[in-house]
Amino acid sequence: MRIGAHVRDDADPLGSAERYGAEVIQLFVTDPQKWNKPKPHPQADQLRASSVEVVVHSSYVINVASLNNRIRIPSRKAVQQQAIAAAEIGAFGLVVHGGHVRQGEDVSEGFANWRKLFERQDDEGGFAVPILIENTAGGDAAMSRYFDSIARLWDHVGDFGAGFCLDTCHAWAAGEQLVDAVERIKAITGRIDLVHLNNSRDEFNSARDRHANLADGLIDPQLLTEVVRQADAPVVLETPAEGITADIAYVREALAPSPSASN
């Protein structure tokens, strides 16, 4: 089980990994608020050769589920481009938010649009790296806020080998209990490929996505580390930068075998 963080310095992610003591890093390959095509990464060769595992988070503007052609079509293109960029730096996956349709629109069309993404790419040989769909915090018309919605989504994309990223803050904000979240998600998807380990600044079922360091939020840190233990997947902290080193150390200590267990 490898533990690390999202790194803010996209030009020198390995430097950030060293400072944090991270075994896995997550980064963007382009401006997350724009539709820009990724450029070659300056550390591509070093990242591919490094023992540090890499995962890429896709741009926030992407919404594959959208019924608006001006959003959905560039979203499909952006996922394809960013998957290629992720492969070029040796990443094990591309994290993509589940997205949403607008209030009053038919959510089933949003699920169908996710299937079309995979169908179209399947005709071209598939994506360059696995697509890891992430659960989201809010929105009644979201594809992956509620676990019931994730089950509907997986009915559409599960056959294509879609991966899953479990975000603890998002699940909490969505009103999904964390105590059995791993068991329920694995029953739906059959897998958890990545954990975004984040505490929350807001109350349960708030629909608000505001991350906190592990010791500073409203979720019991012991519950968070138990999610990690059950998921048995790489862990990325997306918590405030000033506390990431302490967060990584906390998780490592919490998961370390007790002296009696090794006797």
Decide if pLDDT at 69 tops 70: yes
Please give the CATH topology (third level) of the domain spanning 3-256: TIM Barrel (3.20.20)
Average pLDDT, the chain: 96
Assess contact for 98 and 142: CB atoms under 8 A: yes
pTM of the model: 0.96
Decide if pLDDT at 261 tops 60: no
- Residue extents of the structural domains in the chain: 3-256
At 46 the pLDDT is 97
What's the Cα-to-Cα distance from 52 to each of 14, 82, 111, 126, 131, rounded to whole Å?
Answer: 8, 20, 34, 25, 20
Q: Is the alpha carbon torsion for 252, 254, 260, 261 positive or negative?
A: negative
Q: Dump pLDDT digits (tens) for 131-172.
A: 999 999 999 999 999 999 999 999 999 999 999 999 999 999
User: For the purposes of burial, counting CB atoms within 10 Å of the CB of 69, is it exposed (0-12), middle (13-18) or buried (19 or more)?
Assistant: exposed
d(CA 241, CA 132): 24
Which residue matches tokens 């598939």?
A: 126
d(CA 36, CA 39): 9
At 263 the pLDDT is 54
Q: Dump pLDDT digits (tens) for 166-199.
A: 999 999 999 999 999 999 999 999 999 999 999 9
At 10 the pLDDT is 74
Average pLDDT over residues 218-238: 98
**Amino acid identity, position 9:** D
Decide if pLDDT at 262 tops 60: no
